Structure 1
């Protein structure tokens, strides 16, 4: 004899659809975790990869690779951008960016010079002057940092002097500020022990690291199990209560 009551068709359909949806979402979260871990491994490997020419990857960089390139050009004098979003130093600090002009090219390449540690105050660190004349630079050709909603509009357009400071580095804002188009990625310079800048570049998955994707996957799988358990509990047969007999005395 079955321990379950015969369920309505819609309750079966709803339970199956819900459980399948939760399982699918859990599998998607696991897939995203694996993707990000693969990107992090690829990024770490790229840091020691052989140098290659910039032109073949300049306009159409590979989606899931980070070429290590070398090129020459000139920094635009005085054009410096500070990302006030410290991640390397408990005392604060800024990530420093400068546009590089390549000879014979209209587009500018935004170069990540590195992180300049702060001193625990609200005053931005003193940024060294950019090198004059032709320079040769090398590093990873990487996507720009993520852009979020910045309250107050274009922060760069509201400033009249350089270096300009922002909490989100939006390449579109930088291009408008310079009046020149930018390459789709930026150049994160290789570490240099002699440089004043700290160059510990990594992909920014702090908001959603692989471990959090796996935690969400466990949560979705738990929802799938819960949907089935609730269905079974609601449709189990209940045992009839035994009637209590009262004895009468003559």
Structure 2
């Protein structure tokens, strides 16, 4: 008669479990962060909507970045001369597509100048516009830093732009961006992170249970 010591069955993997739980915790934290960003973005959109309702003119901010309290407010600048043209695709206020004429205007001897959208044309040829007093709406400029640049601290301060109320001769009035154009997809992003966390946890538990099954 021999003694047989029963062998222990497979054990629950410790290190992989710790790694999976850490990954799930990170995804949940990202989901919570997106919910916080959702609230911040809603407050920002509400500020923009209040700005749009104001009819008084504000002094155009000279240096970037432009504070949120200035965006979508009415303002005016004096363009001494356009030093550079940046044609971009856009639409006029009737919804017709065209080429948006953005002038980088000199406003003094020094400084970054002001970006001015003076209207929509049908080709890339710069208009015969030499500057002057421009009144319009302050909106975010066409070149905004990427998310990666902002996260790494390498973002260049974004310049705003003035969309003129009265287009230059031969051009059509450009459509003015509004607060409603501000993206707010943070709730969907939060849901995705929570879904990823739940899926990762369920898949891992099923895989381990299958491994431990006699």
TM-score, shorter chain, exceeding 0.5 = yes
Structure 2 residue 49 is the aligned partner of structure 1 residue 52: no
Q: How does 1:1-250 map to 2 (within 5 A)?
A: 7-49=12-54, 50-54=56-60, 57-59=61-63, 61-67=65-71, 68=73, 70-76=75-81, 80-83=85-88, 85-86=89-90, 92-102=97-107, 104-107=108-111, 108-114=113-119, 116=120, 118=122, 124=123, 129-130=128-129, 134-140=132-138, 142-146=139-143, 185-189=159-163, 191-192=165-166, 196-202=172-178, 209-211=183-185, 213-236=186-209
Aligned alpha-carbon RMSD (Å)? 4.1
- 1:136 Cα deviation (Å)? 5.0
Structure 2 residue runs without a partner (length 5+) = 1-9, 147-155
CA contact (8 A) 2:163 2:176 kept: no
Q: Distance in 2 between matches of 1:138 and 1:86?
A: 17
Q: Distance in 2 between matches of 1:129 and 1:23?
A: 56
Q: Distance in 2 between matches of 1:91 and 1:53?
A: 31
Q: Distance in 2 between matches of 1:12 and 1:78?
A: 61
Structure 1 residue runs without a partner (length 5+) = 119-123, 150-171, 173-182, 241-250
* Higher helix proportion (structure 1 or 2): 2
Residues 91 and 197 from structure 1, CA distance in 2 versus in 1: closer, same or farther, beyond 3 angstroms?
Answer: closer
* Higher strand proportion (structure 1 or 2): 2
- 1:17 Cα deviation (Å)? 0.5
The aligned counterpart of 1:153 is none
Q: Which structure would you say has the larger Rg?
A: 1
* 1:78-133 alpha-carbon deviations (Å, 9 max, x no partner): 954311x335687631111123333x54232221224x264xxxxx177654266x
Q: How many residues end up aligned between the 2 structures?
A: 189
* 1:12-38 alpha-carbon deviations (Å, 9 max, x no partner): 312210210111222233334444444
If the length of structure 1 is used for normalisation, what is the TM-score? Answer: 0.56
